[in-house]
Structure 1
Amino acid sequence: MKLSDLGKQLTQDSAIVSLMEDLGDALNVNPNLLFLGGGNPAKVDAFEQLMAEHLADISQNPDELHKLLGIYQSPRGSEKLIDALVEYFQTEMGWPVSADNIALSNGSQSAFFILINMLAGQAGDSKKHFLFPLVPEYLGYSDQALANDYFKACKPLIEKQGDDLFKYHIDFANLHISDETAALCVSRPTNPTGNVVSDDELEQLTRLAKNHNIPLIIDCAYGAPFPNIVYQDVTCQWDEHRLYVFSLSKLGLPACRTGIVVGHPELISQFVKVNTIMSLANGNLGPELMSRLLANKQLNQVCSQHILPFYQHKRNHMLSCIRQNLTKNTYRIHQPEGAFFLWLWFENLPISSTELYQLLKEKGVLVMDGEPFFFAVKDDWPHKHQCIRLSYCQSDEVIEQAIEILATTLEGLTK
């Protein structure tokens, strides 16, 4: 069978496919692996119990069950959820939005496939690109483009902090926006580093987006206001040049595949048309469960009382394990401001991060190689090969065992 050029592109080896294969192997096939890779959220018992109660209620109501299982959603998505989101964003966030500002998708990954290919690529005589003001950035964007050269990036400023921390900052002096820039895009908190772009940085990016009449796309998969896995105070202001993308996955519903896109009505209308062609209709389960959380005023409570404290404990435990086991002055940790990852930088690593990833995998520990997260950086910057990402969604025991193996592996490399 011969594939088209597009078919070849979509079936070639990619970082996101490898990530999901590792995730599936660890979670479904080989549970003995010490899994610190992937982006699967942890099992938060209080949240799953709440979902069980809502599912039980639905199952006892024939009309509600039929709506869940036997009815297509309209193109924009569940009117019930969209109306609830309008009220939520108006009352909780002070956003002047209506139903025309909101659309649903089958996961935020699908939403970004639409946004990337709707905005970037060939446009008349020019070729448009997404510009990432800060890298490393979510590798799931990297293979969604339907042609080459869809992505450009600005390398960050690196600030070393204290004995073992560092932080990336946007280098505005070298952030070059041109007529070929289709959109600015940041994740907040950033996957993979847990970096939270500051309110001031976000305001500067918004002004740049306005000046060039392009959208600033903000991926809030881990961020405020839900699931709000953010360990500091942040604000989310409304602006017609901002396009927010939310997800129910990190709330604890990754299998429901539900994304929420909030932005200018014109862009939302165009998004809905493409989504309908691609998907026909959105799934019902995620929107129904989210609607119930909003109707019962449970969303903010779940986020603040269960999800955030759970991940904060995990973060602190992994930080403690790293500092107890790894040799001082051999590593730095990106300031862990959000999400559920730690990003480690080994400035003097004698092998590449890809080789370290493979070595740890052979020893039964799965981490994420950092190199694929620099997909938009074209030059061979040494820093690209010196970092790994660790998820702290596993049990304390798994975290402890994995960090001990990481420590002994790193020690062996320096002998």
Structure 2
Amino acid sequence: MNFSKFGQQFTEQTGISQLMDDLGDALKSDQPVNMLGGGNPARIEAINEVFLRTYQALGDDGADGNGLASTALSSMSNYSNPQGDAGFIDALVGFFNRHYDWQLTRENIALTNGSQNAFFYLFNLFGGEFVQDGETVHKSILLPLAPEYIGYSDVHVDGQHFLSVPPHIEDVTHEGETGFFKYRVDFEALENLPALKEGRIGAICCSRPTNPTGNVLTDDEMAHLSELAARYEVPLIIDNAYGMPFPNIIYSDVTLNWNDNTILCFSLSKIGLPGVRTGIIVAAPKVIETISAMNAVVNLSPTRFGAAIATPLVKDDTIKDLSDNEIKPFYKNQARLAVANLKAELGDYPLVIHKPEGAIFLWLWFKDLPITTLELYQRLKANGTLIVPSEYFFPGIDVSDFQHAHECIRMSIAADEATLIAGIKGIGEVVRAVYDDAAK
């Protein structure tokens, strides 16, 4: 059977497909697996109780005097328009204007079936083949700081169109302790990129906090990126899947800004609703119109069930209260627990940890690791612990001669305490053996 060039992309093993396959296999395994590899959010009891009550209320509101069905049934039995559920969009307009005074209207927001769906749209809108003045120009998505999210890598319909800049690596302290580092944007390299100066960049994109590292770009870095995007007349796309205002898993004192040249992407996944597949795009009306048209072709319309659950939580700011008072403190405590256990297991070995500033992961750097983290991943999986190796997180960079890209792993901190501690113990056992064997 012959596939098109587009179809052939999906016959190859990719980082994201391997990750999802391994997670699925682990769930079916009859052996215990320490799940530290996925992006599934934690099960936080206080959050789940709110979702359950909201869900039950949707079904209990019953038919009204005109015979209209409950909100839950209505959300499942009717399409929205391609832009997304109108009631949820109106609630989001009110929420963002209330908290940020962005002066949004309904024309500034579209919904998608998850943020992965949103980035499929956006990266193919702004990256790939363009026709300008009768000439064909190939434009890339510029990632100003790699490592970046594994799920970006394979969403283009015609090959990969990414250009990334390796980071500055800075030794830092965290909560008074050494043994940490932080990535910084190399703006000198960024400003001198030939592709940027020659008009071969279609958009600039960053995640904040960054998946996989938990790095949070500073307000000064964000302002510089915004100015750079405006100067070269390309949009700045910001992935807020873990950021402000929900789920707000971000510990730095930073602000969230928007303008017509910025595209903000949000998700309901990391507040604890990954299964409802609801993404949110805030952008200029022309972008929203185009996203809505793509929704119509690809999905007919976005799913409405997540919107039905989230609408009352957005209207009364419950979603912000849960993010600030339940979700963020939970992950901050998980990060502290994980750091303490990692230092206990590997304190005498060359481990440094990216400064935990947000998201639901720790990024571990094993300096001068004798094997690649692809091999380390296989050894850990055989030992009952799932992580994600670093090689997959550098789209747009040739990592063949970039040793650092073969020495890190992403470790989720969303597991329950017992699983997290057991997984770190497994990492310690395998990593110590790797270094000890190499020293013999």
Q: Smaller-chain TM-score range?
A: over 0.9
1:161 aligns with 2:176: no
Aligned to 2:262: 242
Q: Do the aligned partners of 1:156 and 1:168 also contact (CA within 8 Å) in 2?
A: yes
TM-score by length of 2: 0.92
Q: What letter corresponds to residue 371 of structure 1 in structure 2?
A: E
Q: What letter corresponds to residue 103 of structure 1 in structure 2?
A: A
CA distance in 2, matches of 1:275, 1:115: 12
Q: What SS class does the counterpart of residue 155 from structure 1 fall into?
A: coil
CA distance in 1, matches of 2:74, 2:181: 50
1:65 aligns with 2:72: yes
CA distance in 1, matches of 2:26, 2:381: 11
CA distance in 1, matches of 2:120, 2:141: 12
Q: Do the aligned partners of 2:373 and 2:406 also contact (CA within 8 Å) in 1?
A: yes
Deviation for aligned residue 1:344: 0.5
Aligned to 1:3: 3
Query: Which segments of 5 or more consecutive residues in structure 1 lack a partner in the other structure?
Result: none
Number of aligned residue pairs: 415
Q: What letter corresponds to residue 243 of structure 1 in structure 2?
A: I
Q: What letter corresponds to residue 276 of structure 2 in structure 1?
A: C
CA distance in 1, matches of 2:76, 2:172: 52
Aligned to 2:66: none
Q: Deviations over 1:329-365 (max 9, x none)?
A: 5111001100010000111111111111111111001
Structure 1, 171-180 or 53-62: larger mean CA deviation: 53-62
1:48 aligns with 2:55: no
Q: How does 1:379-398 map to 2 (within 5 A)?
A: 379-380=399-400, 381-398=402-419
Q: Deviations over 1:130-169 (max 9, x none)?
A: 0000000001010111122411101110001243100000
Q: What SS class does the counterpart of residue 137 from structure 1 fall into?
A: coil
Q: How does 1:42-121 map to 2 (within 5 A)?
A: 42-60=42-60, 61-62=62-63, 63=69, 64-121=71-128
Structure 1, 24-33 or 150-159: larger mean CA deviation: 24-33
CA distance in 1, matches of 2:55, 2:291: 30
Q: Do the aligned partners of 2:391 and 2:399 also contact (CA within 8 Å) in 1?
A: no
1:173 aligns with 2:173: no
Deviation for aligned residue 1:299: 1.2
Q: What letter corresponds to residue 332 of structure 1 in structure 2?
A: V
CA distance in 1, matches of 2:390, 2:30: 23
Question: Identity, % of aligned pairs?
Answer: 39
Q: What SS class does the counterpart of residue 320 from structure 1 fall into?
A: helix
Aligned to 2:342: 322
Q: Deviations over 1:226-268 (max 9, x none)?
A: 1101112210112211100000000100000000000111111
Distance change (3 Å), C-alpha of 1:401 and 1:183: same
TM-score by length of 1: 0.98
1:272 aligns with 2:292: yes
Q: Do the aligned partners of 1:164 and 1:329 also contact (CA within 8 Å) in 2?
A: no
Q: How does 1:34-45 map to 2 (within 5 A)?
A: 34-45=34-45
Aligned to 1:13: 13
Aligned to 2:152: 141
Deviation for aligned residue 1:414: 2.2
CA distance in 2, matches of 1:48, 1:308: 15
Q: Do the aligned partners of 2:361 and 2:413 also contact (CA within 8 Å) in 1?
A: yes
Structure 1, 385-394 or 231-240: larger mean CA deviation: 231-240
Q: Deviations over 1:198-234 (max 9, x none)?
A: 1100000000010011100000000001110111221
Q: Do the aligned partners of 1:139 and 1:372 also contact (CA within 8 Å) in 2?
A: yes
1:334 aligns with 2:345: no
Query: Which segments of 5 or more consecutive residues in structure 2 lack a partner in the other structure?
Result: 64-68
CA distance in 1, matches of 2:185, 2:58: 47
Structure 1, 320-329 or 81-90: larger mean CA deviation: 320-329
Aligned to 1:284: 304
Q: Which residue, 368, 385, 388 being the options, matches 1:368?
A: 388
CA distance in 2, matches of 1:408, 1:55: 43
Q: What letter corresponds to residue 164 of structure 1 in structure 2?
A: G
Q: Do the aligned partners of 1:22 and 1:38 also contact (CA within 8 Å) in 2?
A: no
CA distance in 2, matches of 1:269, 1:24: 36
Q: What letter corresponds to residue 402 of structure 1 in structure 2?
A: G
Distance change (3 Å), C-alpha of 1:56 and 1:198: same
Q: What letter corresponds to residue 168 of structure 2 in structure 1?
A: L
1:308 aligns with 2:328: yes
Deviation for aligned residue 1:26: 2.4
Q: Deviations over 1:113-141 (max 9, x none)?
A: 01111111111210011000000000101
Deviation for aligned residue 1:3: 1.2
RMSD of aligned Cα (Å): 1.2
Q: What SS class does the counterpart of residue 140 from structure 2 fall into?
A: strand
Q: What SS class does the counterpart of residue 362 from structure 2 fall into?
A: strand
Structure 1, 28-37 or 194-203: larger mean CA deviation: 28-37
CA distance in 2, matches of 1:222, 1:202: 16
Q: What SS class does the counterpart of residue 164 from structure 1 fall into?
A: strand
CA distance in 2, matches of 1:144, 1:151: 11
Deviation for aligned residue 1:28: 4.4
1:232 aligns with 2:252: yes
CA distance in 1, matches of 2:123, 2:59: 38
